[in-house]
Structure 1
Amino acid sequence: MSVPQTRTSARYSRRALASVATAALIAGGAVGSGFIISADGYVVTNNHVVDHAKTVQVTLDDGRTLDAKVIGKDSKTDIALLKIKDSGSYPYVQFGKAAPRVGDWVVAIGNPFGLGGTVTAGIVSARGRDIGAGPYDDFLQIDAPINKGNSGGPTFNVNGEVVGVNTAIASPSGGSVGLAFAIPSETVQAVVDQLKTDGKVARGYLGVQVQPVTQDIAEGLGMAKPKGALIDHAEDGTPAAKAGLKSGDVIESVNGNPINDAKELSRKIAGLKPGAKVEIAYLRGGKSDNATITLGALPTDGSKVASSDTGMSGGQPRLGLGLAPASEVGLSDSGVAVVQVDPDGPAAAKGIEQGDVILDVAGKSVTRPSDVAEQIRTAEASGRKAVLMRVKSSKGVTRFVAISLTKNDG
């Protein structure tokens, strides 16, 4: 790992500093940072910096304070695009052509605590961080000091190119402790391009609800490793359903790019535009298959490409359940109803509740308790370490539960 020379670092810091705008919001008195990306005065910042603001002013490094208007905002990635109202030629910076590596040096510039242009340095500590800020979290983690007011400011590489937008910190005190998070520039560019053209972001839509593939679920499906996105449900009439994808399929790749988990599937699909054709590789019944799908447009009512249910995991073959045909107890026309739950049993510990309906076990539909027992015995006889059950809750939500078949569990 090489350390940038002082003269080089100072030179690109001065050039970058000239392009950095501190976005001072008159409405509410909020203060943040931003940076100019074009000579005609387009400015990138965080959505949370300008959200709900009626008036935005941008203060440049030369001391000028100029009015700006909001061109577009995207709450899902926390990116906003502004435009300085005064015409002119402004200094600007460019996005990096390559993603930074862990260990690369970076420089962060912003307006901490309203002090004005401030430069701090550090390295990229990690990539792909999910901090629960939004549905498409994929943050760079950096250790350059970031504080309140830095939000929306740029993170530069040693070539003076923007590789991230400073967005959040993790801190027990509220101040910098070396845990800062920046939105990668590739994400920012894709969002900004749409905001500049359309004032909003249109995202691809597959139409599936998915959950992570845990170790237990992987064993239940006969997979060597827990990876991919397990489909809970393909919504009727959606691109996924029209292409034949269904509950129990595991999406393994999109356009040849491996999918490691449900979150990654969400990001991949959302990063594509409606109408784009994608090649989906998936696993069904132990066999791989492919589908070519034309993506729809993500609904604007808050629906997601993929919603992960991480609450379900493993269990034991001694379920601790009282079962009955769902049709006989009035819960459903099909499936096996859970009519009693041992609160100390393994199924209860895994979230199974009275009123749930077991729809299938190991991919086979079940209608009687004996069907459940038979499929478990079959899975045990075939050497499976776990069996996968699809369960519908009393609220109508379906999810998969992997039941461990290890004899000494529980």
Structure 2
Amino acid sequence: MPSRLRFSPWPVVLLIGALTAYLSPQADWNRGGPFTPVPQAHSALPDAAVVPVPTALTPEARALFEKVRPASVQIEQLGQDGSGGLGSGFFISADGLLLTAYHVVDGARVIRVRTVSNQAFPARVVGFDNAADVALLKIDTRGRVPYLPLAQVTPRVGERVLAVGNSRGDFLQPRRGRLLALNAEAGRADFPEGTLEMSAPLAPGDSGGPILNPDGEAIGVVSYVRVDTQGQTLSSYAVPVTRNETLITELRGGLKRDVPAVGLYFDTAHDGISSPPGGVIGDVVRGSPAEKAGLVGLTRDQNDAVRGFGDIIVSVDGVRVRSADDAIFEIRRRKIGETVTLLVNRRGVQREVRLPLVAKGSLNFGQ
């Protein structure tokens, strides 16, 4: 996988179940481009009692799936702008702590967790790490819930893995594959580094679900997939988790680690073909430092077709950038509270813009 993915020559990379706009230097991505938003929540959730368990599993895989399914959940979220979406997650303790991908709950006003027994619980965010794309949630329950043990050791390349998720309209169904690589490169500055690469055919809705080893231990949290131009999954990726991992301890302690943002949507569809080449701004977030500095995005007609470029970022603190990914990478190297200097080109005229870096969660995305 390339260290810096370019969308023109490379297959599309898709964040599974990503929210409508992951608008930060962690994921400033284009509207209407090769990324897809989270599927809208189903109008009626399936009754777990009538959802069949697939028969195309080996006896061993079927037994494992039936064992771990009760600890897996479907996650519904309602955003600040009223949009909704679905993701997956799994309990890691009997008192109702559960892991999911951060992008599943990023910007959510309401989070609801649904179990295989069709019980629904409100959930709150205990901690998160935006860059790692992992969040720890908590439901309040009087009883004990089934949970998955986290792996004690690093998984082995080549071993079979099982994912449980909610993609393709299914409710907590299995996907099988093999572990292809450890510590895989993200390929984009806005995806988590050091992920597990797998052959499991995952899709939107599986985000945040567990990746399990043959012993039924959770080895990862589903994050993103790489697909070809026809939308077929090439590889799936999960953030690794182990029992003694520092991140899990920090999340239990209430860690809320955000990423720096200026409030930009980047238009990656024009990477490498703009003049001059750079990070093409697709749009800006209302009330963000980018809007206050007067940055503008693409102009569009009444049918939302692109009519012309606005601002193109050509350098960040003096470092030349030639794509949205380059710009995101440079911005994310800074810290929240710092000031960044962007050199932007607007129809042949260049100017410098100084912007404060703020926490991504402080901006009103989706508005």
> For the structure 1 residues 170 and 61, does the alpha-carbon distance in structure 2 shift closer, same or farther, using more than 3 Å as the test?
same
Corresponding position: 1:21 with 2:77: no
Match of 1:153 among 209, 212, 224: 209
CA contact (8 A) 2:166 2:205 kept: yes
CA contact (8 A) 2:96 2:144 kept: yes
Corresponding position: 1:41 with 2:96: yes
The whole-number CA distance in structure 1 between the counterparts of 2:230 and 2:244 is: 26
CA contact (8 A) 1:103 1:125 kept: yes
How far off its partner does 1:8 sit? 2.8
Match of 1:144 among 179, 200, 205: 200
Gaps of 5+ in 2: 1-56, 259-333, 340-367
Q: Could you report, residue by residue, the CA deviation over 1:119-172 in whole angstroms, capped at 9, with x for unpaired residues?
A: 011101122213225486001110011000000001100000011111101113
> For the structure 1 residues 301 and 78, does the alpha-carbon distance in structure 2 shift closer, same or farther, using more than 3 Å as the test?
farther
> For the structure 1 residues 176 and 119, does the alpha-carbon distance in structure 2 shift closer, same or farther, using more than 3 Å as the test?
farther
> For the structure 1 residues 174 and 30, does the alpha-carbon distance in structure 2 shift closer, same or farther, using more than 3 Å as the test?
farther
The whole-number CA distance in structure 2 between the counterparts of 1:135 and 1:188 is: 23
Match of 1:11 among 55, 63, 72: 63
The alignment of Structure 1 onto Structure 2 pairs a total of residues equal to 208
The whole-number CA distance in structure 2 between the counterparts of 1:196 and 1:125 is: 30
Match of 1:196 among 252, 258, 268: 252
- Tell me, what secondary structure is at the counterpart of 1:146? coil
How far off its partner does 1:82 sit? 0.5
The whole-number CA distance in structure 1 between the counterparts of 2:232 and 2:243 is: 24
The whole-number CA distance in structure 2 between the counterparts of 1:156 and 1:16 is: 9
Q: Which residue of 2 aligns with 1:179?
A: 235
> For the structure 1 residues 188 and 164, does the alpha-carbon distance in structure 2 shift closer, same or farther, using more than 3 Å as the test?
farther
Q: Could you report, residue by residue, the CA deviation over 1:151-203 in whole angstroms, capped at 9, with x for unpaired residues?
A: 0001100000011111101113474423111111149943232121133359x
Q: Which residue of 2 aligns with 1:111?
A: 166
Q: Which residue of 2 aligns with 1:126?
A: 181
The whole-number CA distance in structure 2 between the counterparts of 1:136 and 1:55 is: 25
Q: Could you report, residue by residue, the CA deviation over 1:59-92 in whole angstroms, capped at 9, with x for unpaired residues?
A: 1011111111111221110111110123321000
CA contact (8 A) 1:77 1:134 kept: no
Letter in 2 for 1:101: R
> For the structure 1 residues 51 and 109, does the alpha-carbon distance in structure 2 shift closer, same or farther, using more than 3 Å as the test?
same
- Tell me, what secondary structure is at the counterpart of 1:148? coil
Q: Which residue of 1 aligns with 2:271?
A: none
The whole-number CA distance in structure 2 between the counterparts of 1:136 and 1:156 is: 19
Corresponding position: 1:169 with 2:225: yes
CA contact (8 A) 2:192 2:239 kept: no
| Bigger CA radius of gyration | 1
How far off its partner does 1:11 sit? 1.7
The whole-number CA distance in structure 1 between the counterparts of 2:168 and 2:153 is: 31
Q: Which residue of 2 aligns with 1:394?
A: none
> For the structure 1 residues 198 and 47, does the alpha-carbon distance in structure 2 shift closer, same or farther, using more than 3 Å as the test?
same
> For the structure 1 residues 131 and 188, does the alpha-carbon distance in structure 2 shift closer, same or farther, using more than 3 Å as the test?
farther
Q: TM-score, normalised by structure 1?
A: 0.47
> For the structure 1 residues 175 and 190, does the alpha-carbon distance in structure 2 shift closer, same or farther, using more than 3 Å as the test?
farther
1:8-407 mapped onto 2 (5 Å cutoff): 8-27=60-79, 28-129=83-184, 130-134=186-190, 137-173=193-229, 175-186=231-242, 189-201=245-257, 300-301=336-337
How far off its partner does 1:46 sit? 0.6
> For the structure 1 residues 187 and 86, does the alpha-carbon distance in structure 2 shift closer, same or farther, using more than 3 Å as the test?
closer
- Tell me, what secondary structure is at the counterpart of 1:170? strand
The whole-number CA distance in structure 1 between the counterparts of 2:214 and 2:138 is: 27
> For the structure 1 residues 174 and 59, does the alpha-carbon distance in structure 2 shift closer, same or farther, using more than 3 Å as the test?
farther
What do you get for the CA RMSD once the two structures are aligned?
Answer: 2.9
The whole-number CA distance in structure 2 between the counterparts of 1:17 and 1:114 is: 17
How far off its partner does 1:302 sit? 7.0
CA contact (8 A) 2:152 2:244 kept: no
CA contact (8 A) 1:146 1:176 kept: no
Q: Could you report, residue by residue, the CA deviation over 1:348-382 in whole angstroms, capped at 9, with x for unpaired residues?
A: xxxxxxxxxxxxxxxxxxxxxxxxxxxxxxxxxxx
> For the structure 1 residues 138 and 80, does the alpha-carbon distance in structure 2 shift closer, same or farther, using more than 3 Å as the test?
same
Aligned-residue identity in percent: 30
Gaps of 5+ in 1: 203-297, 304-410
Q: Could you report, residue by residue, the CA deviation over 1:246-292 in whole angstroms, capped at 9, with x for unpaired residues?
A: xxxxxxxxxxxxxxxxxxxxxxxxxxxxxxxxxxxxxxxxxxxxxxx
How far off its partner does 1:39 sit? 0.4
How far off its partner does 1:12 sit? 1.8
> For the structure 1 residues 110 and 31, does the alpha-carbon distance in structure 2 shift closer, same or farther, using more than 3 Å as the test?
same
- Tell me, what secondary structure is at the counterpart of 1:8? helix
CA contact (8 A) 1:191 1:201 kept: no
The whole-number CA distance in structure 1 between the counterparts of 2:242 and 2:230 is: 28
How far off its partner does 1:13 sit? 1.2
Q: Could you report, residue by residue, the CA deviation over 1:213-232 in whole angstroms, capped at 9, with x for unpaired residues?
A: xxxxxxxxxxxxxxxxxxxx
